[in-house]
């Protein structure tokens, strides 16, 4: 698993003292979740929702990693808990991104500042390009290039009407990804644990990008799985990040007020 391997790498190669780290603050917004750790590092991820009915009284959970039971919890408890929920999955990625933030700033990786990954790839047709997730700006850009475009999504209604001709049900990823010249995968697949299956369908020679608010973790394991570019985020104003998340902010709000895009290149 990509995430398990990345967490193990953080604990071993980078000797992160995860046993001493705790969640000092958390904001869970409609679109994004932000965390601050006890070492002052900050990270965020796309919020994954359970979309479930309210629980019966007998099923209500007041235990670890439920409201009022998150701040102060150890990072090791978050990654070791057998409990499963969308909030726990979201918190794990946000925390991993927070731990990774200092490493990404250390100069160990080749990073291009203030660029989006789409600016670094050749979109000259004829190519087959697959986007995993409804990246509206990417869909708009690529649909105008004359290339063949597939958009893998669970719900066709997440695409604008003029782009629905590109829709492919997410379950059909093994039918379109292997024949694609370029594949762009949303970082939300890290949160919902679907990225491993997607990466297993990539063909040799495909240009592979993982990008989005959730993909700001150390890229070592992604690079070993043939990812060429990771589109990540550098937070420039942590306090404002928390305000924006609390006010239902999305990724594009962050880039206007408190963050910069970076591209991490696999050399």
Residues in contact with 264: Cβ distance below 8 Å, sequence separation at least 6, in sequence order: 104, 109, 110, 111, 219, 229, 230, 232
Instruction: Round to the nearest angstrom and report the end-to-end CA distance of the chain.
Output: 22
Label residue 53 by pLDDT band (50, 70, 90): low
- DSSP for the chain, written as a single string: -HHHHHHHHHHHTS---GGG-BEEEEEE-SSEEEEEETTS-EEEEEPP----PPPPGGG---STTSTTSSTT-BHHHHHH-----HHHHHHHHHHHHHHHHHHHTTT-SEEEET--GGGGS--PSS-EEEEES--HHHHHHHHTTT-EEEEEES-GGGS-GGGGGGEEEGGGHHHHGGG-SEEEEETHHHHTT-HHHHHHTPPTT-EEEEESTT--S--HHHHHTT--EEEEEEES-HHHHHHHHHTT--HHHHHHHTEEEEEEE--
Same domain, 138 and 96: no
Task: Tell whether the model's pLDDT for residue 54 goes beyond 70.
Answer: no
Indicate whether 77 belongs to any domain.
yes
Task: Tell whether the model's pLDDT for residue 70 goes beyond 80.
Answer: yes
Same domain, 76 and 193: no
Please, are residues 172 and 166 in contact by the beta-carbon 8 Å criterion? Answer: no
Indicate whether 240 belongs to any domain.
no
Same domain, 204 and 135: yes
Query: Smallest Cα–Cα separation from 193: which of 64, 83, 88, 82?
Result: 88
Q: pLDDT per residue over 216-248, tens digit each? A: 999 999 999 999 999 999 999 999 999 999 999
Same domain, 114 and 78: no
Task: Tell whether the model's pLDDT for residue 60 goes beyond 90.
Answer: no
Q: Among 1-10, 28-37, 150-159, 246-255, where is mean pLDDT lowest?
A: 1-10
Q: For residue 52, what pLDDT is reported?
A: 62
Please, are residues 134 and 163 in contact by the beta-carbon 8 Å criterion? Answer: no
Top pLDDT among 162 and 16 is at 162
- Mean pLDDT to the nearest integer, 69-93: 94
Indicate whether 175 belongs to any domain.
yes
Q: Among 3-17, 51-65, 96-110, where is mean pLDDT lowest?
A: 51-65
Top pLDDT among 51 and 66 is at 66
Label residue 213 by pLDDT band (50, 70, 90): confident
Domain of 202: which CATH number? 3.40.50.11590
Same domain, 94 and 123: no
Task: Tell whether the model's pLDDT for residue 15 goes beyond 70.
Answer: no
Q: pLDDT per residue over 102-111, tens digit each? A: 999 888 999 9
Same domain, 40 and 128: no
Same domain, 145 and 229: yes
Same domain, 260 and 208: yes
Cα gap 40→170, rounded to integer Å? 38
Label residue 55 by pLDDT band (50, 70, 90): low
Q: For residue 179, what pLDDT is reported?
A: 97
Task: Tell whether the model's pLDDT for residue 17 goes beyond 70.
Answer: no
Top pLDDT among 263 and 58 is at 263
Please state the domain count of the chain. 2
Label residue 18 by pLDDT band (50, 70, 90): low
- Mean pLDDT to the nearest integer, 114-142: 96
Q: Write out the residue range of the structural domain in which residue 163 sits.
A: 110-235+256-265
Angle ∠(149,153,156) on CA atoms, nearest 5: 90
Across-strand partners of 42? 36
Label residue 164 by pLDDT band (50, 70, 90): very high
Please, are residues 115 and 133 in contact by the beta-carbon 8 Å criterion? Answer: no
- Mean pLDDT, the chain, whole residue set: 93
Same domain, 98 and 128: no
Cα gap 187→78, rounded to integer Å? 20
Q: pLDDT per residue over 186-204, tens digit each? A: 999 999 999 999 999 999 9
- Mean pLDDT to the nearest integer, 147-161: 96
């Amino acid at each position: 698993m990509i995430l398990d391997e990345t967490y193990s790498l953080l604990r071993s190669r980078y000797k992160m003292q995860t046993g001493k780290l705790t969640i000092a603050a958390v904001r869970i917004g409609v679109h994004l979740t932000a965390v601050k750790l006890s070492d002052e590092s900050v990270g965020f991820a796309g919020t994954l929702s359970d979309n479930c009915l309210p629980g019966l009284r007998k099923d209500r959970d007041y235990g670890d990693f439920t409201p009022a039971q998150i701040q102060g919890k150890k990072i090791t408890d978050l990654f070791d808990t057998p409990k499963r929920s969308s909030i726990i999955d979201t918190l794990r990625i946000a925390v991993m991104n927070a731990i990774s933030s200092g490493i990404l700033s250390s100069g160990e990786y080749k990073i291009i500042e203030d660029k989006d990954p789409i600016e670094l790839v050749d979109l000259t047709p004829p190519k087959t390009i697959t986007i995993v997730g409804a990246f509206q700006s990417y869909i708009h850009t690529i649909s105008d290039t004359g290339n063949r475009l597939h958009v893998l999504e669970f719900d066709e209604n997440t695409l604008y009407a003029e782009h629905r001709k590109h829709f492919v049900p997410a379950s059909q990823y093994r039918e379109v990804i292997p024949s694609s010249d370029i594949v762009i995968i949303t970082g939300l697949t890290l949160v919902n644990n679907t990225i491993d299956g997607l990466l297993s369908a990539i063909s040799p020679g495909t240009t592979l990008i993982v990008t989005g608010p959730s993909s700001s973790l150390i890229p070592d394991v992604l690079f070993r799985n043939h990812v060429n570019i990771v589109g990540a985020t550098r937070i420039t104003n942590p306090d404002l990040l928390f305000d924006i998340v609390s006010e239902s902010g999305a990724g594009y709000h962050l880039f206007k007020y408190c963050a910069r895009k970076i591209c991490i290149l696999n050399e």
